[in-house]
Chains A and B, each alone.
Chain A
Amino acid sequence: MVDINTGLIAIGAALSIGLTAIATAMAEKGIGTAAIGAMAEKEELFGKGLILTVIPESIVIFGLVVSILILGLAATH
């Protein structure tokens, strides 16, 4: 049986990655819509639009890093 502290740590790690994933999705939604709008006007913008759309992916990667850090806490706990 895992003690409650470990469980809380796990929830913290899950929150870290889950919430940042939602944040990324929200950010990418806006950029993606704008990129498609721009593409409708000028098709060559596909490449730039695609790259701009993945820029906020950093947010979820930071979330992953933090969640790995939190899990590291669990190991030392």
Chain B
Amino acid sequence: MFKSQRMVKVVLAGPKHYLKSVTNKLYDLNFFHIVEHRKKDEEDFFDIGSPLEENENLSDMLVKIRSLISFLKITGNPKKSEPSLNEIEKTTKTVYNQIKSIKKSLAYVQKITKVHESEEQIKSLEMIDLELKEDLDYGKFNHYIGFVKEDIEEKVQDVTAKYELFTNKYKDLNLIVLFVDKKKDEKIIAILEDSEFSPIESPYVKTHYGDLKSDSTIKFVKLGKELEDLKRKEEKLVKKTEGIKKEYGKSLLTAEKVLSERVDVTEAPLKFATTKNTFVITGWAPEKKVSKLKKEVDLVADESIYIHTEKPKKDDPVPVALQNNKYASPFEFFMRLYTLPSYKEIDPTFFLALTFPFFFGMMLGDVGYGIITFFLFSWLKKKMPKAFVLKAFMVASISTIIFGVIFGEYMGLEHFPNAMNKVGYTVCEVYKMCEFDKAAGMYRVPHLILRSHQIEDMMSLSLLLGMVHIIIGLAIGFLNVKNAHGLKLAIFEKVGWLLLMPMMVWLLKDFLGVINGFVGDMLASIMPSNTVVFALFGIGGLLVVLGEGIRGAIEVLFMALLSNILSYARLMAVGLASLGLAVVVNDMAGEMFSSGSIGGIIGGVLVLVLGHTINIMLGILSPFLHSIRLHYVEFFGKFYSGGGINFNAFGRK
């Protein structure tokens, strides 16, 4: 619990034809941290490995699938089932080809639409010279005017000789005017459809058919119908895409997941060291699982792999895998947010899991807010099942409720109104748990400490908690230094600081007078005489200077420990601010309610809801930040060095 998982360095070496099976096995085992092989210089005996041979095909497919997913805007979770690579290849091919053709048509349609929408089509028509031959007789001929994708002359020629075709290239679009034998209409329409014919309706041509012989240009082109047609065409294409998305969306997501896993495996050899015929894999595995690793690898590689294991040496960059019980593991998030403990260090997650909710609750400390935040976080947890840190916040909410009971605060209310004192009577008078507050004219809610009135007690308590917290930190630091550098330095550095502590108590209690009240009395009863305190300070200071050098001397001189302890006054201050805001909201709403008018009641409700919402948001953010800061700066500062490398197991995430 207080140490990260013990690791063992593992080196696997063997002939290359086992590379694939060993890589696959390691991936399945999912507890091997690969250390990347780096070529030191050109003369390095080992080369960097190359990906397994199917890699190229797989990554090619993966790129296609990812482009499809982003084009179709597919979201959601993949299916649980695992399709085979063949299936994936088949689906990818079909979907890719369909989408490709749809995309092509869509681009063309959109281009044409743009031309139709602008004045350009008239311009483009004006550029065609229409000079019909005499024998084109209206009634026997049909005419088509519009844009086509490609040249159609040859195809028309195959169908009939009785035609007249005028074409004009306009901005790489083909504009055609085609007069053609009416009898062959069906075939001509098929040809036109094939080449994505987009017609321009021109009533002028229809009515002035006879005049065309002499007129060289087509004028008065009417806009409208052709645009509608195009829009319909576009909609059809979009609908088709939607259909494909519905049919293949989930399969594509699943395929993406499966393939990216496969690509991970096939690319793993890039991290291995290889020679012409052999490979060497270096990495770390948890000590407990090493025997399993040996057994399984021997099984797939017919015992022809040489497996070497060794305990980590002093300066090895050992990866860190935290291991905590069910209660503390959500708090690992905060360790990652800061920096992981190094391999040798004590993992402080468990302490953080105890004190973080405690401080959070002490600052927010309100039954109502605690219940609301608890439900808020459980709802969020349901929405985001992978965000384990929310569990830590749920614990903090429970702690808030408990502190709310201790402080007697319910959504900022600390009093029972006098007029409804039935409840107040039974609780306060019969059990004598609370007293009548003459100033407020109300009965106080049962409580242990009253934050709004016992400010000095709260401050003393906060500072006392701070001292306890720092002492725990120093104790952990003692163990850390002892493990890393021996007992002597541990005593110099950490016990030195501990000996300074009585002096800090004396300063805070007798000199500054910040600590007083019942906490002061408590501390007074265990404090040694002043001579002893000063003597301890002298010895402690000396030890610190011996242990930490100049830096230690400066820290002792500038009372770093005192400012660390005073920093815990925020436990009182932040809580007081949150309580103050809640009381203001309640008072404002109370005045509005007592006015009795409907407007007053509505306004009161609004003020209550809005005010408490804002206060709860602040009440989550501010205690969280301050609580975590007390850990990062004051607590960790006493023992933590961090900088651990994350244990990144090769395998399914």
Contacts and interface: CB of A to CB of B under 8 A. Distances in A.
Given A65-B459, A69-B513, A58 B625 contact: no
Interface stretch (B108-116, B240-248, B287-295, B563-571): B563-571
B456 to A, nearest CB: 7
B645 interface: no
Nearest to B625: A54
B527 interface: no
B573 A61 contact: yes
Contacts of B573: 61, 64
Contact of A48 (B337, B456, B563, B633): B337
A50 B625 contact: yes
Interface in B565-617: 566-567, 569-570, 573
Interface size class of A (residues with CB under 8 A): 10 to 19
Given A51-B628, A72-B513, A58 B563 contact: yes
A62 B563 contact: yes
Given A62-B563, A69-B513, A54 B569 contact: no
Interface in B605-643: 625-626, 628-629, 632-633
A34 to B, nearest CB: 17
Contact of B514 (A50, A55, A69): A69
Contacts of A65: 459, 514, 566, 569
B512 interface: yes
Contact of A61 (B456, B570, B628, B632): B570
A55 B625 CA distance: 9
A48 B632 CA distance: 11
B629 A51 contact: yes
B85 interface: no
Given A48-B337, A62-B566, A65-B459, A54 B629 contact: yes
Contacts of B238: none
Interface residues of B, number: 20
Given A68-B459, A69-B514, A51 B632 contact: yes
Q: Count chain B CB atoms within 10 A of each CB in A57, A62, A65, A68 and give the residue with the most.
A: A65
B456 A54 contact: no
Contact of A54 (B338, B455, B459, B626): B626
Contacts of B633: 55
A48 B626 CA distance: 13
Contacts of B569: 61-62, 64-65
A37 interface: no
A64 B626 CA distance: 16
A17 B377 CA distance: 35
A48 B338 CA distance: 7
Interface centre among A48, A51, A69, A72 (most CB of B within 10 A): A51
A55 B628 CA distance: 11
A47 interface: yes
Nearest to A54: B625
Nearest to B571: A61
A57 B632 CA distance: 14
A51 B634 CA distance: 13
Contacts of A54: 625-626, 629
A55 B512 CA distance: 24
Nearest to A53: B625
Contacts of A47: 337
A17 B319 CA distance: 46
Nearest to A58: B567
A69 B512 contact: yes
Interface in B466-514: 512-514
A44 to B, nearest CB: 9
B288 to A, nearest CB: 31
A50 B334 CA distance: 13
B456 A68 contact: yes
B628 A57 contact: no
B629 A61 contact: no
A10 B341 CA distance: 47
A31 B633 CA distance: 16
Interface in A32-77: 47-48, 50-51, 54-55, 57-58, 61-62, 64-65, 68-69, 72
Interface in B431-461: 455-456, 459
B446 to A, nearest CB: 27
Nearest to B512: A69
Interface in B120-150: none
B455 A68 contact: yes
A57 to B, nearest CB: 7
User: Most B CB atoms within 10 A — which of A48, A57, A62?
Assistant: A57
Contacts of B456: 68, 72
A57 B512 contact: no
A26 to B, nearest CB: 19
Contacts of B337: 47-48, 51
A47 B628 CA distance: 11
Nearest to A76: B513
Interface string B543-574: 00000000000000000000100110110010
B514 A51 contact: no
Contacts of B512: 69
Nearest to B633: A55
Contacts of A69: 512-514
B601 to A, nearest CB: 37
Contacts of B626: 54, 57
A12 B625 CA distance: 29
B455 A61 contact: no
Nearest to B567: A58
B648 to A, nearest CB: 16
Contacts of B513: 69, 72
A62 B570 CA distance: 9
A57 B570 contact: yes
Interface of B: 337-338, 455-456, 459, 512-514, 563, 566-567, 569-570, 573, 625-626, 628-629, 632-633
24 contacts: A47-B337, A48-B337, A48-B338, A50-B625, A51-B337, A51-B632, A54-B625, A54-B626, A55-B633, A57-B570, A57-B626, A57-B629, A58-B570, A61-B573, A62-B563, A64-B569, A64-B573, A65-B459, A65-B514, A68-B456, A68-B459, A68-B514, A69-B513, A72-B456
Interface of A: 47-48, 50-51, 54-55, 57-58, 61-62, 64-65, 68-69, 72
4 residue pairs, one from A and one from B, having the closest CB atoms: A47-B337, A54-B625, A61-B570, A65-B569
Given A48-B337, A50-B625, A68-B459, 12 more contacts: A51-B628, A54-B629, A55-B629, A57-B626, A58-B570, A61-B573, A62-B566, A62-B569, A64-B569, A65-B514, A68-B456, A69-B513
